[in-house]
């Protein structure tokens, strides 16, 4: 427990949304209203990041729609404007987006689309990071494509480590933005620890001391300012992960 409480000094508060969690192929039904030439009733649309620019390809939806560059706004919302077409994307549940397309003619397209995933969140992030890397022409040395495979829960740790390594390279190359000012200190292991602490906090059977520890991990906003290296911080967070898992198991809290 001492180690867990000490970790709040070097971890931040919330996991920043990464483009690695966003890029991918989204499939869903589309509803067309007020359109003289409606397109497909369902489609798979790709969201990709190319050299630091985010875009969605609407062409598979038909109706004369084309690819559009995306701009991020508050709370992870995405928008685009091109000619007479206005687009808004609102993230919903994990790996789900709500799509709203409006034309000045009065044609409106709506849909909820779901991203193709591996069912292992850390490996989803790895696949996303690899996808961004493949479209990053600024990398001094190309990154090998992520091999297609059936990912298992046991692959999570390896996926997390490799995803962070790839993200670091594409960030350095200018192909992935860093919106969180603590991102250079707050690594993937600490973000994962915070996520697990949030789950532990909400567990009905967690005793008060566990809830207090979880609250402190979530609410302490600043990392250590004493020059602690990222490697040391990440190692501590890995230990913290093991401890949170052990504590959760004691009170039968699923993480």
Confidence band of 33 (pLDDT split at 50, 70, 90)? very high
> What does the pLDDT look like over 127-163, one tens digit per residue?
999 999 999 999 999 999 998 889 999 999 999 999 9
Which residue in this structure is represented by tokens 């990440």? Answer: 234
Torsion, Cα 160 91 149 29, to 10 degrees, reads 180
> Alpha-carbon distance 27 to 24, whole Å?
10
Q: What average pLDDT does the structure give for the chain?
A: 82
Q: Mean pLDDT throughout 24-48?
A: 97
Q: Is the pLDDT score of 173 beyond 50?
A: yes
Q: What is the pTM of this model?
A: 0.66
> What does the pLDDT look like over 59-103, one tens digit per residue?
999 999 999 999 987 667 899 999 999 999 998 888 999 999 999
Q: Mean pLDDT throughout 202-229?
A: 65
Highest CATH level, class, for 23-115: mainly beta
Give me the pLDDT at residue 198, please: 78
- Residue-range domain boundaries for the chain: 2-17+119-250, 23-115
Could you tell me which of 195, 242, 186, 184 has the C-alpha nearest to residue 4?
242
Give me the pLDDT at residue 78, please: 92
> Alpha-carbon distance 79 to 89, whole Å?
6
Sign of the dihedral defined by the CA atoms of residues 140, 134, 77, 191, in that order: negative
Nearby residues of 234 by Cβ (< 8 Å), 6 or more positions away: 187, 188, 189, 190
Q: Is the pLDDT score of 121 beyond 80?
A: yes
DSSP secondary structure letter of residue 75: G
């Amino acid at each position: 427990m001492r180690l867990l409480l000490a970790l709040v000094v070097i971890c931040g508060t919330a996991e920043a949304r990464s483009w690695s969690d966003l890029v991918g192929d989204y499939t869903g039904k589309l509803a067309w209203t007020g359109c003289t030439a409606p397109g497909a009733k369902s489609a798979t649309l790709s969201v990709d990041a190319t050299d630091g620019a985010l875009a969605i390809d609407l062409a598979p939806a038909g109706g004369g729609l084309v690819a559009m560059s995306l701009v991020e706004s508050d709370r992870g919302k995405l928008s685009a404007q091109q000619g007479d077409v206005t687009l808004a994307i609102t993230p919903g549940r994990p790996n789900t987006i709500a799509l709203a397309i409006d034309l000045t003619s009065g044609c409106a397209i709506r849909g909820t689309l779901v991203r193709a995933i591996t069912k292992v969140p850390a490996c989803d992030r790895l696949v996303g990071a690899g996808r961004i890397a493949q479209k990053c022409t600024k990398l001094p040395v190309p990154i090998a494509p992520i091999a297609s495979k059936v990912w298992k829960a046991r692959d999570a740790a390896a996926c997390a480590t490799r995803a962070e390594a790839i993200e670091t390279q594409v960030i350095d190359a200018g192909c992935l933005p860093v919106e969180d000012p603590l991102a250079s200190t707050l690594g993937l292991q600490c973000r994962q620890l915070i996520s697990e602490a949030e789950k532990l906090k909400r567990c009905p059977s967690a005793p008060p001391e566990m809830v207090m520890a979880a609250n402190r991990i979530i609410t302490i906003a600043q990392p250590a300012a004493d020059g602690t290296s990222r490697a040391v911080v990440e190692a501590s967070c890995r230990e913290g992960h093991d401890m949170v898992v052990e504590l959760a198991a004691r009170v039968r809290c699923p993480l």
